[in-house]
Amino acid sequence: MSASLPRVSASVAMPKGSLQQVFDNLRAAGYTLVGPTVRDSAIVLDEIDGLDDLPQGWTDEQQPAHYRLKKAPDNQYFSYGVGPHSWKQFLHPSRLRLFSVEKNNGSWTIRPSQEPPPRYAFIGVRACDVAAIGIQDRVLIGSEFRDPHYAARREQVFVLAVNCSHSGATCFCASMKTGPKVTGGFDLALTELPDIFLVEIGSEAGAEVLGDVPWEAATAFDLGRASRVIQRAERQDGRHMLTDDLPDVLYENLESPQWDEVATRCLSCANCTLVCPTCFCTTVEDVSNLRATSAERIRVADSCFNRDFSHVHGGNSRPTIRSRYRQWLTHKLASWIDQFGTSGCVGCGRCITWCPVGIEITEEVNAIRAKGGK
Amino acid sequence: MSTAFLTSEVRKPIDPMLPHLATIQDVKPTAVGISMFSLVFADPEERANYRFQAGQFNMLYLPGAGEVAISLSSDPGQPEVLGHTIRDAGSVTRAIGRLKAGDVIGVRGPYGSAWPLNKTRGSNLVIVAGGIGLAPLRPVILSILRQRSAYGQVVLLYGARTPADLLYTDEFDQWRQGGIDVQVTVDLGEESWRGLVGVVPQLFYRIRIDHKKTAVMACGPEIMMRFVIYEALARRIPKDRIYISMERNMKCAVGFCGHCQFGPTFICKQGPVLNFAAIEPFFGKEDF
Ligand SMILES: Cc1cc2nc3c(=O)[nH]c(=O)nc-3n(C[C@H](O)[C@H](O)[C@H](O)COP(=O)(O)OP(=O)(O)OC[C@H]3O[C@@H](n4cnc5c(N)ncnc54)[C@H](O)[C@@H]3O)c2cc1C
Ligand code: SF4
Ligand code: SF4
Ligand code: FES
């Protein structure tokens, strides 16, 4: 045991029960904890109090259009993959008031939203989702215009990441080079072993949170066991995507017959964009009171699968499911790279699991590659 | 935690979605269902600092109604008064159309790319507009008139559906006197119409162009721009000297909402004015 704090980039071993102490320290430091918990037969992200709220002993079975919770063979805290929620619901809320307006004597007073956002500690962030947060950073605060609502939430976040020990049948993080090991963008990163958590320190804030928590320097044995856990997860990745010829293979096949084919299956329900941790699109709702003396602008999540998304007066630039699916896939895997210098897909597999008809992004790219058709 | 994008600048609570207040100074009916609004910022500092370039646009906002992208159609040399030519096209533009002098409107901008007025100095210009598409090109014409000798031959090819849909007709004589060849056509003539009848791209047949020294700037319905590009290429004008202004649904104008995407471009940031050579792989693709 050590009284001093571990240094950044060190790895330490911590008794499993001490994670509660880490939670308590975070709460004492003013953080609101959000993490995985079981609700409505799925592992969702919500505010949590302690270890008891974590899905201990649960795992998930994921396949295209299929998600089922089941008892895990072990009694670990993190033996499952990502669920339908992602951290964007906290950083880039699906409903947010931009400002309100009061009208008085012919003029207006504009009041920006000023509720201070919660200071979140994200518990159990997987490697793909750490990468997804980095991607939304580029979109929302990485250019000349910055979204102050995102920035205010983002800059206060504490990230307690978890290396995956169990990779799902719809995962392809290894193909997208985002996981299963977390390689940056965290304050603390856990690897769960049967007896201990191996904790990698990612920042000063991470080291401080360990405070009075009992820890020991990690041994070679612990480090070896942890890396085998992660290797196993990597081997388990159930899907793969060839990325060498992206974006070209999509740009060169904008008229492929495969777009027509997938349009016969796609319902244009927008589930994939809703669950995707990087999709950022929004629209604005304007509401006013009955006497029209005050009004609000509310930003709400939107999707390129919604028909109104590309409405222009007297027409629609993407009136067909074919054109909307093509926008989604080419944005994720091609134009995103031109826009932000990174793919828009981290390989989390959510869009595959939560597609009601089981369309697989990995298979669609393969089909376009195979069919061509320009 | 630290990342490359969490700089101290982020901490500035400036929301690019917040409008500034402006007062409507004047409303002038300009064509059927189209009026020209002159706006002045309420805040003297904003009024003094605001600058725009020909081709850029503002987001205009009315509480409870919504916000729309509208090009600046006045002279960039006089940025203290903002001219917007607005067509009643739906719910928000209709609500704006009901405003009178003295009313307040929300404005944020300017956004987007500009017509290449510097890059094309010394060359001939073919300016092509269809309908309301002349609005974002009027600042080009007004800028050229102020420094006419900086450009070679300048032609405006303009068309609208009917004579009553033509914008700025009361200014055409002045533009001609200033040295711009103004050619006008309508799709559907009427008895009193003495001008040409036919679609805009046909006007190319009325002009002589030296393709080596000519640039094209076009704005109008996409189908019109497709034919304009066809005619320009047929006259061996290089692809990278053809500029078009494009339109897509816009909800933010700052790259956040995703609505205006056209392949890799955000029309609100890299556009609306785009170089044809840069977007050729995507332009004209069905429902793109
Ligand atoms: C860069 C740019 C410059 C423009 N310049 C002008 C101009 O100078 N004069 C002019 O009259 N019109 C211009 N338009 C078109 C104008 O924005 C639309 O006519 C207007 O948004 C229609 O809104 P509405 O609420 O009246 O119509 P509705 O059909 O009720 O539209 C509902 C909403 O959809 C969106 N929308 C609808 N049509 C368009 C569109 N064509 N482009 C972008 N968003 C749209 C808007 O958010 C709008 O509020 C421009 C558009 C763009 C993109
Ligand atoms: S596109 Fe699918 S696999 Fe890729 S990040 Fe989004 S939800 Fe995950
Ligand atoms: S895929 Fe669609 S919803 Fe997702 S970011 Fe791109 S345009 Fe927006
Ligand atoms: S208008 Fe919102 S991203 Fe361009």
| CATH number reported for the structural domain that contains residue B68 in this entry | 2.40.30.10
Asked if B3 lies within 8 A of A185 by C-beta distance, the reply is yes
Q: How many CB atoms lie within 10 A of CB B186?
A: 22
Residue B270 lies in a domain: no
| Alpha-carbon separation of residue B55 from A84, B74, B76, B219 (angstroms) | 43, 10, 10, 10
A1 has a pLDDT exceeding 70: no
Contact B266 CB / ligand 4 (< 6 Å):
yes
- The rounded Å distance from CA B70 to ligand 1 centre is 7
B6 has a pLDDT exceeding 90: no
Residue B259 lies in a domain: no
Answer yes or no: are the C-beta atoms of A176 and A346 closer than 8 Å.
yes
Residue B240 lies in a domain: yes
- Residue that the structure tokens 């078009």 belong to: B244
| Alpha-carbon separation of residue B138 from B33, B86, B216 (angstroms) | 18, 13, 15
For B280, how many CA atoms within 13 A lie in the half-sphere containing its CB? Answer: 11
pLDDT at B13: 55
Can you read off the two tokens belonging to residue A364? 């669609």
Give yes or no: residues B184 and B217 share one domain: yes
Give yes or no: residues B138 and B215 share one domain: yes
Give yes or no: residues B203 and B239 share one domain: yes
B281 chain-A contacts, CB cut-off 8 A: 251, 254
ipTM of the predicted structure? 0.94
Give the model's confidence band at B212: pLDDT under 50 very low, under 70 low, under 90 confident, else very high: confident
Average pLDDT, chain B: 94
Residue B77 lies in a domain: yes
Residue B229 lies in a domain: yes
Q: What is the mean pLDDT of residues A247-262?
A: 96
Answer yes or no: are the C-beta atoms of A126 and A191 closer than 8 Å.
no
> What CATH number does residue B138 fall under?
3.40.50.80
Please list the residues that pair with B266 across neighbouring strands. Answer: B261
Selected for mutation to probe chain B from A143, A145, A326 (highest B CB count within 10 Å) is A145
Give yes or no: residues B130 and B167 share one domain: yes
Residue window 34-73, chain A: list those with CB within 8 Å of chain B: none
- φ, ψ of residue B94 to 5 degrees: the values are -65, -45
pLDDT at B190: 85
B1 has a pLDDT exceeding 60: no
Residue where one domain finishes, among candidates B44, B76, B110: B110
Q: What is the mean pLDDT of residues B217-221?
A: 97
Give the model's confidence band at B12: pLDDT under 50 very low, under 70 low, under 90 confident, else very high: very low
Burial per residue of B15-46, b for 16 or more beta-carbon CB atoms within 10 angstroms, e otherwise: bbbbbbbbbbeebeebbebbbbbbbbbeeeee
Give start and end residues of each alpha helix (H) in B113-166: 138-146
Answer yes or no: are the C-beta atoms of B122 and B172 closer than 8 Å.
no
B205 has a pLDDT exceeding 50: yes
| Closest alpha carbon to B87 in B44, B14, B149, B36 | B36
Answer yes or no: are the C-beta atoms of B93 and B86 closer than 8 Å.
yes
Least CA distance to A287: which residue of chain B? B64
Nearest to A106 among B5, B63, B104 (CB): B104
Task: Give me the helix-helix angle, A321-330 and A257-265, nearest 10°.
Answer: 110
| Closest alpha carbon to A169 in A242, A42, A79, A63 | A63
Q: What is the mean pLDDT of residues A337-345?
A: 97
Selected for mutation to probe chain B from A92, A108, A255, A287 (highest B CB count within 10 Å) is A108
Residue B283 lies in a domain: no
- The rounded Å distance from CA A330 to ligand 4 centre is 17
Residue B288 lies in a domain: no
| Closest alpha carbon to A277 in A84, A99, A138 | A84
Give yes or no: residues B140 and B235 share one domain: yes
Give the model's confidence band at A373: pLDDT under 50 very low, under 70 low, under 90 confident, else very high: low
User: What is the CA B63 to chain-centroid distance, rounded?
Assistant: 25
Residue B92 lies in a domain: yes
A202 has a pLDDT exceeding 70: yes
Give yes or no: residues B145 and B183 share one domain: yes
pLDDT at A65: 97
| Closest alpha carbon to B142 in B124, B168, B162 | B168
* Interchain CB contact of A200 with B (< 8 Å): no
Q: Taking the model in full, what pTM does it have?
A: 0.94
Nearest to B64 among A154, A157, A292 (CB): A292
Q: Which residues contact A275 (CB under 8 A, 6 or more apart)?
A: A84, A85, A86, A350, A351, A353, A354
Instruction: Tell which one of A86, A94, A273, A346 to mutate to probe ligand 3, the residue whose CB is within 8 A of the most ligand atoms.
Output: A273
The one-character DSSP state at B111 is: E
A288 chain-B contacts, CB cut-off 8 A: 63-64
B287 chain-A contacts, CB cut-off 8 A: 317-320, 322-323
Nearest-atom number in ligand 3 for the CA of A331 is 6
Domain that holds residue B230: 124-245
Give the model's confidence band at B3: pLDDT under 50 very low, under 70 low, under 90 confident, else very high: very low
Give the model's confidence band at A67: pLDDT under 50 very low, under 70 low, under 90 confident, else very high: very high
Nearest CA distance, B132 vs chain A (angstrom):
13
| Closest alpha carbon to A114 in A155, A154, A149 | A149
A315 has a pLDDT exceeding 90: no
CA angle B119-B70-A291, nearest 5°?
160
Nearest-atom number in ligand 2 for the CA of A332 is 1
Give yes or no: residues B63 and B98 share one domain: yes
Burial per residue of A166-192, b for 16 or more beta-carbon CB atoms within 10 angstroms, e otherwise: bbbbbbbbbbbebbbbbbebbbbbbbb
Give yes or no: residues B186 and B104 share one domain: no
B192 has a pLDDT exceeding 70: yes
Q: Which ligand is nearest to the CA of B17?
A: 4
A272-282 pLDDT tens trace? 999 999 999 99
A116-156 pLDDT tens trace? 899 999 999 999 999 999 999 999 999 999 999 999 999 99
What is the domain partition of chain A in residue ranges?
Answer: 11-96+115-236, 248-281+302-371
**Domain tally, chain B:** 2
Can you read off the two tokens belonging to residue A146? 């910055």
Give yes or no: residues B178 and B206 share one domain: yes
Give the model's confidence band at A167: pLDDT under 50 very low, under 70 low, under 90 confident, else very high: confident
